[in-house]
Amino acid sequence: MWRRFSFRRRRADALACIEFVEVVTNYLEGAMPAQEAARLEAHIGQCHGCTAYLEQMRETARLVGRLMVEDVPAGGRDRLLQAFRTWKASQA
């Protein structure tokens, strides 16, 4: 019972990281329902990978004065998602 629960939790956390990457621009622009933003913040609070990514995106937004998906270096998102998978695997 407990083992099954923790397995589901880990899956949920990994999905939250991928979801975070998908919606981070909306989050930074405030174009996100408060309830969803609060859920993301709860995840960021316990995820070093997403905290680092959020800081990187904020820095990018500061530098260019706006935040567009095209501003993220090509392949950066794929590399990040791969880094998440590697990190999550090492935590398992």
Please report, as ranges, the residues that interact with Zn ion according to CB under 5 A: 17, 47, 50
Residue 81's contacts (CB-CB under 8 Å, 6 or more residues apart) are: 18, 21
Minimum Å gap between C-beta 49 and Zn ion is: 5
Using the minimum distance from each CB to Zn ion, give the nearer residue, 54 or 67.
Answer: 54
Minimum Å gap between C-beta 20 and Zn ion is: 5
Using the minimum distance from each CB to Zn ion, give the nearer residue, 50 or 80.
Answer: 50
Minimum Å gap between C-beta 12 and Zn ion is: 11
How many other C-beta atoms can be found within 10 angstroms of the C-beta atom of residue 61?
16
Using the minimum distance from each CB to Zn ion, give the nearer residue, 12 or 64.
Answer: 12
- Paired tokens of 54: 């959020």
Using the minimum distance from each CB to Zn ion, give the nearer residue, 24 or 50.
Answer: 50
- Paired tokens of 61: 């937004």
CA 36 vs CA 5, 15, 40, 43, 54: distances in Å: 23, 14, 6, 11, 16
Minimum Å gap between C-beta 65 and Zn ion is: 27
